């Protein structure tokens, strides 16, 4: 098979593509591809390998040789799925490749917020420690996680792993009902919110989860509660969360995702990093451990090895 990778740079320069090369007769590799370049680069290819490059219906119609699209991610929203199905083009994604990496990042964020690391780091950098009347600073009350309640939204691989890991700190872990699931008997996030010392989000962005954490839910939280979003931008109302953080109605906020990525026009949370807040913003980097990125290649190679028609 002749395969083309359209955005190999999204995997990083340190990743070995040999498992994919071993499955195809020819592999063309492009680091970046603009949307209007995709058709020309895929002409004559049987396999398209993409991460975030959009392959819309018009593009697929112009590629009669295409038999398979391998997505280097879990989400397939950049692929015209109905058009692919009508044209007999198989679409295969990868999943569960970054569980350890994302879970680790989630705990890093939670621990940093609990220890008020953003605020104490700023104080030290500003020279306040050197001016202290005694040996330490204790201006910002920290949160000891032992015996505190963590509410997790999303009981898939990621949410489950995070729940397992925080058990080492002696936290009480509760999973909220899946948003939009009518027959889930578990309490909803809104019902659990008043008892939550921390909330960790690991759910997809859907109509049911858009702004799941909004102004009304934030008002139900303890003022010292921590909020971590390693799911998708838009699951929380970022403006409402920032306002609650500034007003002292939220103990800490950490996000690895924003509604628009990359945020070329900026974002209020990024601007707020200049303020003395218990706030962390990371650049959608929870998944980027070398092991996770190499796992994507291995899973894609497996997708290439599977028969196109079972």
In tens, the pLDDT along 55-92 reads: 999 999 999 999 999 999 988 989 999 999 999 999 99
Catalytic one of 34, 37, 260, 261: 261
pLDDT greater than 80 at residue 135: yes
pLDDT greater than 80 at residue 310: no
Report helix, strand or coil for 100: helix
Produce one character per residue of 7-44: b if its CB has 16 or more CB atoms within 10 Å, e if not: bbebbeeeeebebbeebbeebbebeebeeeebbebbee
pLDDT at residue number 75? 86
Catalytic one of 178, 232, 293, 295: 232
The yes-or-no answer on residue 232 being catalytic is yes
Please state, in angstroms and as integers, the Cα–Cα distance from residue 15 to each residue in 8, 10, 18, 174, 295, following that order.
Answer: 9, 10, 9, 37, 10
pLDDT greater than 60 at residue 7: yes
Q: Which of 211, 252, 251 is nearest to 231 (CA)?
A: 211
pLDDT at residue number 82? 96
- Pick the more confident residue, 74 or 242: 242
* 291 φ/ψ sector (left φ>0, alpha ψ -120 to 50, else beta): alpha
pLDDT at residue number 183? 87
pLDDT band at 307 (very low <50, low <70, confident <90, very high): confident
pLDDT in tens, 244-290: 999 999 999 999 999 999 999 999 999 999 999 999 999 999 999 99
Q: Give the containing element (helix H, strand E) for 59.
A: helix 57-61
pLDDT in tens, 146-184: 999 999 999 999 999 999 999 999 999 999 999 988 889
Q: Over pLDDT 70: what percentage of the chain?
A: 99
pLDDT greater than 80 at residue 309: no
The yes-or-no answer on residue 284 being catalytic is yes
pLDDT in tens, 178-223: 998 888 999 999 999 999 999 999 999 999 999 999 999 999 999 9
pLDDT greater than 80 at residue 5: yes
pLDDT in tens, 13-39: 999 999 999 999 999 999 999 999 999
Report helix, strand or coil for 142: coil
Produce one character per residue of 155-185: b if its CB has 16 or more CB atoms within 10 Å, e if not: bebbbbbbbebbeebebebebbbbbeeeeee
pLDDT at residue number 182? 81
pLDDT at residue number 243? 98
What pTM value is reported for the model? Answer: 0.92
pLDDT at residue number 33? 97
């Amino acid at each position: 098979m002749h395969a083309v990778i359209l955005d190999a740079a999204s995997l990083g320069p340190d990743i070995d593509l040999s498992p994919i090369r071993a499955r195809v007769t020819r592999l063309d590799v492009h680091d970046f591809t603009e949307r209007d370049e995709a058709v020309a680069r895929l002409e004559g290819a049987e396999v398209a390998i993409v991460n975030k490059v959009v392959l819309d219906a018009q593009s697929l119609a112009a590629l009669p040789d295409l038999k398979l699209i391998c997505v280097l991610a879990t989400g397939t929203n950049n692929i015209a799925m109905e058009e692919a199905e009508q044209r007999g083009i198989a679409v295969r994604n990868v999943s569960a490749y970054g569980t350890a990496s994302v879970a680790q990042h989630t705990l890093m964020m939670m621990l940093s917020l609990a220890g008020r690391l953003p605020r104490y780091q700023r104080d030290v950098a500003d020279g306040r420690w050197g001016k202290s009347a005694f040996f330490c600073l204790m201006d910002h009350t920290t949160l000891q996680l032992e015996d505190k309640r963590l509410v997790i939204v999303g009981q898939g691989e990621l949410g489950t792993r995070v729940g397992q890991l925080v058990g080492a700190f002696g936290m009480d872990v509760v999973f909220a009902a899946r948003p939009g699931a009518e027959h889930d008997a578990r309490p909803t996030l809104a019902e659990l919110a008043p008892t939550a010392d921390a909330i960790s989000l690991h759910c997809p962005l859907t109509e049911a989860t858009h702004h799941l954490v909004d102004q009304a839910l934030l008002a139900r939280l303890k003022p010292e509660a921590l909020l971590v979003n390693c799911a998708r931008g838009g699951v929380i109302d970022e403006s409402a969360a920032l306002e609650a953080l500034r007003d002292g109605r939220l103990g800490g906020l950490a996000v690895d995702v924003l509604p628009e990525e990359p945020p070329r026009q900026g974002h209020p949370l990024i601007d707020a990093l200049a303020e003395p807040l218990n706030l962390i913003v990371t650049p959608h980097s929870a998944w980027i451990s070398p092991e996770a990125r190499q796992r994507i290649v291995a899973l894609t190679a497996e997708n290439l090895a599977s028969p196109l028609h079972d």
